[in-house]
Structure 1
Amino acid sequence: MGAVSIDNVRKSYGGMEVLHGVSVDIADGEFVILVGPSGCGKSTLLRMIAGLEEITSGDIVIGGRVVNTLAPKDRDIAMVFQSYALYPHMTVEQNMGFSLKLQRVNQEEMQKRVANAASILGLEPFLKRFPRHLSGGQRQRVAMGRAIVRNPAVFLFDEPLSNLDAKLRVQMRSEIKQNHQRLKTTTVYVTHDQIEAMTMADRIVVMHDGVIEQIGTPLELYDRPANLFVAGFIGSPAMNMIKGKIDGGSFVADDGTKIPLGMVPGNSAGRSVTLGVRPEHFSLDPNGVDAEVLTVEPTGSETHVVARFASNEIMGAFRERITTQPGQMLKIRPEGNSVHLFDAESGKRIAA
């Protein structure tokens, strides 16, 4: 069993605490991604699961065993790093089988496991090649194969795609997800790229300043962010934020612009809030609010328009082929049932 339980884990360096009581349960076979900006503590947490960092307090349990004091080799985990860390003097086959050689696995079993991993990853034609003869994506596959042959209870990935170009990252995202669906091994994956998190994870753990802001499926986080940080971090282009207050059935921006709302929280009259609107939830409407066009960015499938709306710079993503030019005016409105409201003081989501 590869279930992982992280219970009130803290990490301090001297007098500075960088993880503040983190708790999360990961089910056997689940693909969980730790995501957040640089310095949020996600890689530190992953290294603590791996046994590469000591735990200041709390417990980490893998497969029903508390592993706080176990060496990495005794935790039944396999880790794939940002750097491929391949031995340049060894072939692909030798690199993939090296950990098994250290474990004194017999030659027949070693060859069987390496062949199986090579088949899964499409590496059969490259087994006799050296790393210098491989592309970046092929080297990353070898690093993954080296982990697969160990048949671990848990895979740990530390930003494995950050050294690849954009096109190859998209391809490798798909391959990692397909391999997880095939192997069904518990996976904990760290990235700062929220697109990776959205497209690959069963659940996402959003971290910020050493605490967990929200845990949920990709669409739960996208559709119902718990606070302003999650709302701004999850989604690309990012959610637009406009400050104001609630007045009757409308939101009134700080500059006085009035925006009707589909639903209004009870007992919220006069409450100071931040209105969140995702770019795709702006619509063209002759009865909408004036927005001065600043830039137009056609992407093919959408047209992104940066505009001044309610004295704020916002981005709208429209399916229509808009031919507007900078300096012109558009009439747009947020779709009332798709907007988000957050308390101005706490930043927490307000339920309608």
Structure 2
Amino acid sequence: MGTVAIRSVRKTYGQLEVIHGVSLDIADGEFVALVGPSGCGKSTLLRMIAGLEEITGGEIAIGGRVVNDVVPKDRDIAMVFQNYALYPHMNVRDNMGFALRQRRLPRAEIDARVADAARILGLEQLLDRKPRALSGGQRQRVAMGRAIVRQPNVFLFDEPLSNLDAKLRVQMRSELKELHQRLGVTTVYVTHDQIEAMTLADRVVVMNGGIVEQMGPPLDLYDRPGSLFVAAFIGSPPMNFLEGIVDRDETLVLDDGSRLALPLPVRGKARVTVGIRPEHLALAAAGWPAVVSVIEPTGSETQITARLGENVIRVLIRGRTEVRPGETIHLAARAGDVHVFDTGSGRRLTARALEGADR
């Protein structure tokens, strides 16, 4: 079985600790994305699963077997890197079958596995080409094919799409998801791109400074971020934040003196940060007044950047708008779309009545 159990894993380089006791259980067949900014520890954790980095403390088990001291080739994993790592002097067929030849599998079995992977990935017409004659997307398919032929219990992906252009990344995301649905192999996928994580994974693990900040199904993290860090990281365009003091009448008083009527979960001079996603703000006949500074139409959507007092706020609306820079608009949000965080700790505050109100 392709289960992965990470138990209180730590990693230090000299006096510097970069992974701080991470624990995570990955079920057989699950697709888990490790996401976070550069330096958060996601790639280091992946490399420890692969055996490419030594574990300072804790345990990693794959398929129920502790693999702390097991060499990478014996861990029953296959890893796909962001730089493809193809042998330039070998054609596609030989690149895909190289690891199997090293294991001295019969030639007929190697050919059958390569042919099957080539069919799955649409590489059948490219088997005799060298890597230099392939596009970036085709090279990435070859790298995935090399992993598939090994028939591992666990796939490990280290930012495999980061070298592709935007259009090809979208295409390859779809192909990766279809591949996982077809093969059902446990997959651990590292990316700094939260859109990749949201669209591909069954479960997203958000890392921050060597710890797990929050984990769960993608839409759970989007709907109920547990901290300011997760709220800022998950979602595109990013969430708007307004910081201020809660007045007695549940009004948020911003630092510039602006007053916003909001259903807030705390009373009496508490300092909070309110988060509202751009797509959850709407233009209204009455509401918070904001002066438009930039209009960015994309065809199906329009992003409006405006100033609410001294705060910059972004609004994402479906379709098009007649609003122009310099105009004053009024904004409203449903209570259920308002997220409230303690400014000091950054943790989410539980609301008494953040659900059900209309715009």
Indicate the residue corresponding to 2:342 in structure 1: 343
Deviations 1:243-273 (A, max 9, x none): 0122333333223333233x432x5332210
- Amino acid in the other structure paired with 1:181: Q
**Residues 250 and 267 in structure 2, CA contact (< 8 A), matched pair in contact too:** no
Alpha-carbon distance between aligned partners in 2 of 1:97 and 1:79, rounded to the nearest angstrom: 15
**Residues 84 and 139 in structure 1, CA contact (< 8 A), matched pair in contact too:** yes
Indicate the residue corresponding to 1:252 in structure 2: 253
Indicate the residue corresponding to 2:71 in structure 1: 71
User: Is structure 2 residue 45 aligned with structure 1 residue 22?
Assistant: no
Indicate the residue corresponding to 2:281 in structure 1: 282
Indicate the residue corresponding to 1:169 in structure 2: 169
- Amino acid in the other structure paired with 1:132: R
**Residues 80 and 160 in structure 1, CA contact (< 8 A), matched pair in contact too:** yes
TM-score normalised to the size of structure 1? 0.97
- Amino acid in the other structure paired with 1:158: D
User: Is structure 2 residue 85 aligned with structure 1 residue 97?
Assistant: no
Deviations 1:291-342 (A, max 9, x none): 0111110011111011001320011001242222222211112322211000
Indicate the residue corresponding to 2:241 in structure 1: 241
Look up the SS of the partner of 1:242 in the other structure.
strand
Indicate the residue corresponding to 1:107 in structure 2: 107
**Residues 260 and 336 in structure 1, CA contact (< 8 A), matched pair in contact too:** no
Offset at residue 133 of structure 1 (A): 1.1
- Amino acid in the other structure paired with 1:254: D
Deviations 1:196-234 (A, max 9, x none): 111101000000111110001110110000100000011
- Amino acid in the other structure paired with 1:250: T
Alpha-carbon distance between aligned partners in 2 of 1:176 and 1:280, rounded to the nearest angstrom: 28
Indicate the residue corresponding to 2:131 in structure 1: 131
Look up the SS of the partner of 1:24 in the other structure.
strand
Alignment coverage as a number of residue pairs: 350
Please say which of residues 70-79 and 283-292 is displaced more in the overlay.
283-292
Alpha-carbon distance between aligned partners in 2 of 1:327 and 1:172, rounded to the nearest angstrom: 41
Indicate the residue corresponding to 1:316 in structure 2: 315
Alpha-carbon distance between aligned partners in 2 of 1:318 and 1:139, rounded to the nearest angstrom: 38
Give the superposed CA RMSD.
Answer: 1.1
**Residues 283 and 335 in structure 1, CA contact (< 8 A), matched pair in contact too:** no
Indicate the residue corresponding to 1:298 in structure 2: 297
- Amino acid in the other structure paired with 2:105: V
Deviations 1:153-197 (A, max 9, x none): 100000000110000000000101100000000000000011111
Indicate the residue corresponding to 1:329 in structure 2: 328
Gaps of 5+ in 2: 352-359
Alpha-carbon distance between aligned partners in 2 of 1:268 and 1:215, rounded to the nearest angstrom: 30
Indicate the residue corresponding to 1:57 in structure 2: 57
Alpha-carbon distance between aligned partners in 1 of 2:25 and 2:268, rounded to the nearest angstrom: 39
User: Is structure 2 residue 264 aligned with structure 1 residue 264?
Assistant: yes
Alpha-carbon distance between aligned partners in 2 of 1:320 and 1:97, rounded to the nearest angstrom: 50
**Residues 89 and 130 in structure 1, CA contact (< 8 A), matched pair in contact too:** yes
Alpha-carbon distance between aligned partners in 1 of 2:294 and 2:109, rounded to the nearest angstrom: 61
Fraction of identical pairs, as percent: 64
Alpha-carbon distance between aligned partners in 2 of 1:320 and 1:74, rounded to the nearest angstrom: 54
Alpha-carbon distance between aligned partners in 2 of 1:256 and 1:338, rounded to the nearest angstrom: 23
- Amino acid in the other structure paired with 1:322: T
Indicate the residue corresponding to 1:116 in structure 2: 116
Alpha-carbon distance between aligned partners in 1 of 2:336 and 2:309, rounded to the nearest angstrom: 19
Gaps of 5+ in 1: none
TM-score normalised to the size of structure 2? 0.95
**Residues 273 and 342 in structure 1, CA contact (< 8 A), matched pair in contact too:** yes
Alpha-carbon distance between aligned partners in 1 of 2:284 and 2:14, rounded to the nearest angstrom: 57
